């Protein structure tokens, strides 16, 4: 439904996860009968969860843990692990910085150059853990580093930025030609963020195996205050799921995975992402709350240490439980921050669905939160 903002502007009403909820059907199931497996390209996962490439969430160690627990950990190949031989003291420093000095010091820490040999070493370390290996670069660095990454051996290659388009225009540098790049690469590529039907459709046409929906981070509120840009996730996921359907038709059957990335703080949000059409979810905040996450109760993304225009802060997310309990429970609390897999299973069972693809058809309602 188009809305008239004023005589010279029309707009569309869009929806956040907080605006919607799922409702039961006439059937119920046992949670144990529900399947939450997910596969992309040749890789199969017990659970449809990717750990986001952020230093507060994924280290080589937690990437291995995530794989062993049935999901996929994606290492940020532009974070501390590829800039420093021993990043642990720096992570400890970031965790202990007072709030008013955090941004400035993080800008320093992340100005250290990336070392290709460390990229190689970190990926090898994950490979040695016996799990699927995935690393992420920003579009700006992909050209420079992708060969190192591919030679080091990754199973899934992630290109992740705030907004990634299939058609970047630049007067100064030759931009990455995604279509050509993906075509020539042997490794399946997951790319994003994209938040609209059109942007996602063009990314799908580049040959990507998956598209990240969102703006590559959870700092939606500060992005809105700073850039005026906002794409509420319920609408974004449902729009990109529409692009998946239309692209499947135009491509004669190629299925590109839709991965919600951002705004997924609780198990309820994960449920809604899949209900709106996501195949899997990339989790930042939700996993940064693990007692064994590298952030130690804090969480930050690249936008927090942008040199000219920081659009997020290092935030306190608290510590809830070890990663395994965050994923599989038992949940010590009732806020949807632990036993994410159990909650997803129970939600699917309560509403009568038996696998994720089916669950994308669950009935959704618009029911805004009430303040009290």
Binding to a copy of itself in span 197-256, by CB under 8 A: 197-199, 201-202, 219, 222, 224-232, 234-245
Nearest distance from residue 259's CB to a copy of itself, in Å?
Answer: 15
Q: Rounded to 5 degrees, what are φ and ψ at 38?
A: -145, 140
Q: Element (H or E) spanning 104, and its range?
A: helix 99-109
Instruction: Candidates 1-9, 39-47, 114-122, 291-299: pick the segment binding a copy of itself (CB under 8 A).
Output: 1-9
**Per CB under 8 A, does 326 bind a copy of itself?**
no
How far is CA 14 from its chain centroid? Answer: 20
Q: 120 or 291: whose CB is closer to a copy of itself?
A: 291
Q: Rounded to 5 degrees, what are φ and ψ at 315?
A: -115, 150
Region 5-24 residues binding a copy of itself, contact defined as CB under 8 A = 5-16, 18, 20-24
Q: 6 or 86: whose CB is closer to a copy of itself?
A: 6
Bridge partners of 136, per DSSP, are 76, 158
Q: 124 or 248: whose CB is closer to a copy of itself?
A: 248
**Per CB under 8 A, does 29 bind a copy of itself?**
yes
- Count Cα atoms within 13 angstroms, Cβ side, for 12: 10
Q: Element (H or E) spanning 189, and its range?
A: strand 189-194
Nearest distance from residue 115's CB to a copy of itself, in Å?
Answer: 26
**242: which 2 tokens?**
């529409």
Q: 87 or 268: whose CB is closer to a copy of itself?
A: 268
**C-alpha distances in Å from residue 42, one per residue of 67, 209, 264, 296:** 15, 11, 26, 34
Region 30-69 residues binding a copy of itself, contact defined as CB under 8 A = 30, 32-33
Q: 259 or 275: whose CB is closer to a copy of itself?
A: 275
**Per CB under 8 A, does 366 bind a copy of itself?**
yes
For tokens 């195949």, what's the residue? 279
Region 118-137 residues binding a copy of itself, contact defined as CB under 8 A = none
The DSSP letter of residue 82 is: G
Nearest distance from residue 318's CB to a copy of itself, in Å?
Answer: 14
Instruction: State the pairing for strand pair 315-316/298-299.
Output: antiparallel
Instruction: Candidates 54-62, 125-133, 285-293, 299-307: pick the segment binding a copy of itself (CB under 8 A).
Output: 299-307
CB count, 10 Å around CB of 95?
A: 16
Q: Can you tell me whether residue 251 is helix, strand or coil?
A: coil
Q: 2 or 86: whose CB is closer to a copy of itself?
A: 2
Which residues, including other chains, have CB under 8 Å from residue 56's CB and lie 6 or more apart?
284, 288, 293, 294, 295, 298, 299, 300
CB count, 10 Å around CB of 75?
A: 29
**C-alpha distances in Å from residue 228, one per residue of 219, 278, 315:** 13, 25, 21
Nearest distance from residue 164's CB to a copy of itself, in Å?
Answer: 7
For a copy of itself, the binding residue among 132, 313, 321, 323 (CB under 8 A) is 313
Q: 64 or 275: whose CB is closer to a copy of itself?
A: 275
**Per CB under 8 A, does 85 bind a copy of itself?**
no
Q: Under rule CB under 8 A, how many of the chain's residues touch a copy of itself?
A: 118
Binding mask 268-297 for a copy of itself (x = CB under 8 A): xxxxx--xxx--------------------
Nearest distance from residue 45's CB to a copy of itself, in Å?
Answer: 21
């Amino acid at each position: 439904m188009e809305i008239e903002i004023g005589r010279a502007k029309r707009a569309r009403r869009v929806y956040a996860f907080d605006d919607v909820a799922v409702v039961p059907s006439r059937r119920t199931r046992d949670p144990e009968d529900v399947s939450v497996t997910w596969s992309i390209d040749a890789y199969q996962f017990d659970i449809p969860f990717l750990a986001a490439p952020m230093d507060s969430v994924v280290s080589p160690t937690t990437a291995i843990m995530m794989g062993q627990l049935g999901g996929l950990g994606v290492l940020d190949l532009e974070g501390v692990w590829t800039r420093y031989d021993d990043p642990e003291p720096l992570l400890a420093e970031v965790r202990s910085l007072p709030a008013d000095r955090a941004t400035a010091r993080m800008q320093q820490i992340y100005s250290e150059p990336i070392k290709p040999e460390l990229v190689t070493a970190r990926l090898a370390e994950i490979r040695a853990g016996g799990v699927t290996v995935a690393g992420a670069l920003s579009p700006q660095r992909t050209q420079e580093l992708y060969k190192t990454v591919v030679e080091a051996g990754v199973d899934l290659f992630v290109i992740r930025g705030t907004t990634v388009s299939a058609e970047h225009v630049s007067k100064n540098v030759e931009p990455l030609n995604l279509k050509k790049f993906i075509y020539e690469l042997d490794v399946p590529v997951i790319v994003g963020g994209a938040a609209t039907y059109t942007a996602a459709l063009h990314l799908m046409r580049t040959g990507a195996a998956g598209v990240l929906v969102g703006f590559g981070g959870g700092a939606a509120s500060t992005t809105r205050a700073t850039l005026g840009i906002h794409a509420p996730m319920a609408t974004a996921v449902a729009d990109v799921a529409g692009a998946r359907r239309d692209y499947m038709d135009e491509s004669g059957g190629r299925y590109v995975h839709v991965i919600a990335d951002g705004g997924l703080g609780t198990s309820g949000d994960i449920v809604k992402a899949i209900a709106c059409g996501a195949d899997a979810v990339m989790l930042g905040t939700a996993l940064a709350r693990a007692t064994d996450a590298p952030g130690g109760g804090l969480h930050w993304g690249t936008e927090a240490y942008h040199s000219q225009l920081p659009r997020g802060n290092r935030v306190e997310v608290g510590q809830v439980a070890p990663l395994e309990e965050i994923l599989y429970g038992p949940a010590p609390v009732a806020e949807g921050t632990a036993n994410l897999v159990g909650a997803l299973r129970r939600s699917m069972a309560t509403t009568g669905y038996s696998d994720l693809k089916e669950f994308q058809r669950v009935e959704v309602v618009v029911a805004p939160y009430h303040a009290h």
